[in-house]
Amino acid sequence: MQTIESLSYRLSSYLESHQINSVKRAYFYAEQAHIYQKRRSGEPYVTHPLEVANILATMHMDHQSLMAAMLHDVIEDTPIDQSAMTAQFGEKVTELVDGVSKLTQFEFDSPAEKQAENFQKMALAMARDIRVILIKLADRLHNMRTLGAMPPEKRHRIAKETLEIYAPIAQRLGMNDVRLELENRGFDAMYPMRCNMLQAALKNARGNRKELVSKIQSAIELRLEREDITALVSGREKHLYGIYKKMRAKKKSFSEIMDVYAFRIIVDSVDTCYRVVGVMHNLYKPVINEFNDYIAIPKANGYQSLHTVLIGMHGVPIEVQIRTKEMDEMASSGIAAHWFYKANDNDSNVPGGSHARARQWVQGLLEMQQRAGDSLEFIENVKIDLFPDEIYVFTPKGKIVELPAGATPVDFAYAVHTDVGNRCVACRVNDRLAPLSQSLKSGQKIKVITSPTAQPNPSWLNFVTSGRARSGIRHFLKNQRHHESVELGQRILGRALQQHNINIIELTTEQIDTLVKDTNTPSLDILLEEIGLGNRIAQGVARLLLSDNDERLEAGTNIYSPLMIDSAEGLAISFARCCRPIPGDPIIGHISTGKGLVVHRDVCRNLSDVRSNPEKIHLVNWAPNVTGEFLVDLRIEVHSERGIIATLATRITEFGANIEHINVDERDAHNSVITLCVGVPNRVHLANILRRLRALRSVIKVSRGKN
């Protein structure tokens, strides 16, 4: 078992004596704080912070990180508070400890919300000091090593959180060794039977592969020696969770995954890396489109290497990674490799730009956090953003932009800038117009076309892949919905107050304060938003301004002028799908909780229940100049014949109408009913389309769809 003395001896290789003494002082402080506490395994609790510090020592972390590792559970699990710790160890160490500590003083509605809030707190601390996440990863790694003492339910929950959040974070920071151990231990805890079966199969496969691996390795070493290249060649072992993920993602059997032989070649310089690629392509035939240059274009986490796939002896595929010794260290330890911390500075200097990349990623987290509506939405966006696979595309000026695999031009637009994403209307991929939903590929040049009047489309959420784009779209729509709901709420409340001869614009400060106080809302804007969203009834709010015996309460509820609908666009006003009203239809509106004002045709059968509550009914009318496209359902009975759908579609598009979707119901061998959803600006336009369709010889009957 690790002791403080053995750790001190280890630290003496890279820390000064006064720094080691500070680490020892933190250990003894933690030992006293946790003196009566035991781990589930029965060991004294202080063994856990000691092991966490030991993991950080293998990364050559600075003394403040090691002190924080010793103290990381003190605030959370003992009566000692932050002020007492600051007095003993200073603000820097206390900030690190607080960043890792969970929120224990709050009640949460669900475990998911608790997890999300704690991660959000840690993300804020990471933005101030990146060392917070390194301490947290070391803490999680030791917890995973000792997970066996936990009850099954808790073990499963911790393993799931590790696989979904902490292992991808370790990968994002380039800490491959930590990631592999977290993944394998998480896999074992979450799926023990699958893990055991794969382990047995892997052990068996290793024995069968040993001879061929040895032959390939010898052939590579011999060729490199002949070319006078000094290199270290090793067979690369696939780890269990990686095999499991590949089997699931590619729907391949274990034997198919294991058919690929992987090798790593470590050389002395970047020039030699490229020479080795040429030698390998001479030795075995390369597979076209399977060469990746991560030296010229490093991955987002700073990873650098050359990857190629070859067809070796007996036709077996061989994956080869070629890199320098420094690149190999960076690939194993990432941001933790060669850590140097300046005692009087807030920044760290890590060779290879890994620290700068980590800071850039954390800054991205911070932006997502500011736009997210709540902690659950934030953590969902973070999970999306932790994609291991990336593509690299270019701006028109040649700048490289990293995006998750499957990213679209909308993801690219938001990666350039949030305003570019919000104003995006079209794009060019390699100088050709392309749809915004198209998946991008590495090496493409993307140009985004913007318009000052454009705004995000809610349908974009169906195809964007990056957390930044998703949070940007949601943030904009949420703000737009808020403004529209406030405006609608003001109009509805204004009309409710008109019944009682009160003008909403002339409300005094005292009256507004009364409304806010009596409705228990933070502000008038929030109250108006709730009215606009249908969460409060305007007449009820209006009555709060009047005395109980006020005669004006006896006035009718709908004597005022109707609300005017002037556009198809909007989030606070929606059009019912059951009857699909379009400009020119007699309409009526009702307030629906959480949806705002829902507009129906006045003949809609679904309104029968709503009419029983007059306070929720609102008179609405079309403005003289309504803009936008409104959807309407058409039911067309036809004689079945070849090309009838194409004929109908041609007639409709000739009138400038868009077809949203088509459904065909074959009644018998001779007749069919075709249902179309068409976008039109008004009833006149619809009447012209119906007249044109009725003129077709194959059409028996055309009618507008009903409920």
Write down the CATH superfamily of domain 4-193.
Hypothetical protein af1432 (1.10.3210.10)
CA-closest candidate to residue 64, choices 127, 125, 131, 140: 131
Tell me, what's the pLDDT at 569?
Answer: 67
- Among 565, 489, 480, smallest CA distance to 524 is for 489
Residue 175 bridge partners (DSSP): none
Residue of 31, 43, 77, 329 marked active site: 77
The catalytically annotated residue of 31, 43, 51, 76 is 76
**Contact partners, residue 59, CB within 8 Å, separation at least 6:** 134, 138, 333, 336, 337, 339
377 is catalytic: no
Per domain, the residue ranges of the chain are 4-193, 194-335, 475-616, 630-704
CB neighbour class for 332 (10 Å; exposed up to 12, middle 13-18, buried from 19):
middle
pLDDT of residue 160: 92
Strands 292-293 and 306-311: antiparallel
Homologous superfamily of the 194-335 domain (CATH):
Beta Polymerase, domain 2 (3.30.460.10)
Question: Catalytic annotation on 77?
Answer: yes
Residue 217 is given by DSSP the state H
Q: Which two tokens stand for residue 314?
A: 């007996």
| Cα angle 593, 595, 600; round to 5 | 100
- Tokens matching residue 257: 């995954």
pLDDT at 499: 74
Residue 525 structure tokens:
């804007």
The percent helix, strand, coil of the chain (3-state, each to 5) is 50, 15, 30
**DSSP letter for each residue of 135-189:** HHHHHHHHHHHTGGGS-HHHHHHHHHHIIIIIHHHHHHTT-HHHHHHHHHHHHHH
CA 129-134-137 angle, 5° bins? 140
Interacting residues of 647 by C-beta distance below 8 A, sequence separation 6+: 696, 698
Do you know the residue count of the chain?
707
Residue ranges, the chain, pLDDT below 70: 1, 103-110, 336-355, 371-374, 384-388, 547-562, 568-571, 615, 707
Say how far apart CA 221 and CA 236 lie, in whole Å: 15
Range 630-704: architecture per CATH: 2-Layer Sandwich (3.30)
CB contact at 8 A, 534 and 596: yes
Q: Which residues pair with 168 in a beta bridge?
A: none
Q: Are 412 and 403 in contact (CB under 8 A)?
A: yes
User: What's residue 224's pLDDT?
Assistant: 95
Task: Give the per-residue pLDDT at 34.
Answer: 92
**What pLDDT digit, counting tens, does each position of 344-360 carry?**
344 444 444 566 777 77
- Cβ atoms within 10 Å, residue 526: 16
Element spanning 343, H or E: none
